[in-house]
């Protein structure tokens, strides 16, 4: 029996082979492009986030400086004996703003020291004309927070909750359980005459945006504003 030589591949086989290789090449090229686009998109989003946060900080920091200096100015006008102590507290606060506020996150303990200094400064300014309580419970060790993210809510209470002719009442509590922080700020509603200090507030609006950018799905902000009181509760999952 004679052997039949193998038949050489026909045109259809060659075209099929070329088509398969081309198809695989197109798949690899497609996924390579998608990966590059995804990487570039992520980089663009990170640059956008960084730019937006820098813009918000640029607005927030002068806001705090302006209102804190107003407190010292009021004491100086009154020739208060507490002016020197207030200047020392202000110095510590300004050092914190200059050295820490540009960072994305700072130790929680330092942030709370800043808050305490601010509240004590306001207590010196207003004296016994307001009923004020401030308490911190829980462990701050090893925890971090975005700088100046809590102060706008406390500052707002002093701006809109203090009137020497009315019963002014401000309550600030910070509770830390594990990695969860809860800030509660309540102030009684009083009449406050419009002033440049009260008109300067960008704090709460900017803080809403910072929380949205820095703590997506890791914070809850509840605000109650009625004729009797103004209440803020911020729940935050810390770093």
Q: What is the residue range of 199's domain?
A: 62-237
The pLDDT value recorded for residue 200 is: 45
Instruction: Give the predicted TM-score (pTM) of the model.
Output: 0.71
| Model confidence pLDDT, tens digit, residues 138-197 | 999 999 999 888 988 998 898 888 877 788 899 999 999 999 999 999 999 887 765 555
Report, in angstroms and rounded to the nearest whole number, the Rg of the chain calculated over CA atoms. 30
Q: Which two tokens stand for residue 7?
A: 């038949």
Q: Does 201 map to a domain?
A: yes
Q: Does 202 map to a domain?
A: yes
pLDDT at 44 exceeding the cut of 70: no
pLDDT at 27 exceeding the cut of 80: no
In the 3-class helix/strand/coil scheme, how is 142-157 assigned residue by residue? Answer: CCEECCCCCHHHHHHH
Q: Does 196 map to a domain?
A: yes
Q: Does 181 map to a domain?
A: yes
Specify whether the CB–CB gap between 42 and 196 falls below 8 A: no
Q: Does 98 map to a domain?
A: yes
Number of folded domains that form the chain:
1
pLDDT at 233 exceeding the cut of 90: yes
> Please, which contacts does 219-224 make with residues 24 or more away whose CB atoms are closer than 8 Å?
none
Q: What is the CATH number of the domain that holds 71?
A: 3.30.565.10
Mean pLDDT check: name the lowest of 12-26, 51-65, 104-118: 51-65
Q: Does 2 map to a domain?
A: no
Kindly provide the b/e burial profile for residues 1-22, where b requires at least 16 CB atoms within 10 angstroms of the residue's own CB.
eeeeeeeeeeeeeeeeeeeeee
Q: Does 121 map to a domain?
A: yes
Look up tokens 């300014």; give the residue.
125
| Model confidence pLDDT, tens digit, residues 87-119 | 888 888 888 888 887 788 999 999 999 999 989
Specify whether the CB–CB gap between 90 and 122 falls below 8 A: no
pLDDT at 211 exceeding the cut of 60: yes
Mean pLDDT check: name the lowest of 41-55, 96-110, 116-130, 213-227: 41-55
């Amino acid at each position: 029996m004679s052997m039949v030589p193998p038949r050489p591949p026909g045109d259809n086989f060659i075209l099929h082979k070329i088509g398969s290789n081309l198809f695989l090449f197109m798949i690899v090229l497609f996924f390579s492009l998608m990966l590059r686009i995804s990487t570039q998109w992520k980089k663009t989003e990170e640059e956008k986030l960084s730019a937006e946060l820098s813009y918000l900080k640029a607005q927030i920091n002068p806001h705090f400086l302006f209102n804190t200096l107003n407190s010292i100015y009021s004491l100086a006008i009154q020739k208060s004996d507490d002016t020197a102590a207030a200047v020392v507290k202000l110095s510590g606060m300004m050092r914190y703003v200059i050295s820490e506020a540009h960072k994305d996150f700072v130790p929680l303990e330092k942030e709370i020291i800043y808050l305490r200094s601010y509240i004590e400064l306001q207590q010196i300014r207003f004296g016994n004309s307001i009923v004020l309580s401030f308490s911190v419970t829980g462990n701050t060790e090893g925890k971090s927070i975005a700088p100046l993210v809590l102060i706008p809510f406390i500052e707002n209470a002093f701006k809109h909750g203090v009137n020497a002719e009315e019963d002014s009442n401000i309550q600030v509590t910070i509770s830390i359980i594990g990695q969860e922080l809860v800030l509660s700020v309540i102030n009684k509603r009083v009449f406050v005459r419009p002033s440049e200090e009260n008109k300067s507030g960008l704090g709460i609006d900017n803080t809403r945006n910072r929380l949205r950018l820095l703590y997506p799905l890791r914070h809850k902000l509840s605000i109650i504003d009625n004729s009797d009181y103004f209440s803020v509760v911020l729940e935050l999952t810390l770093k």
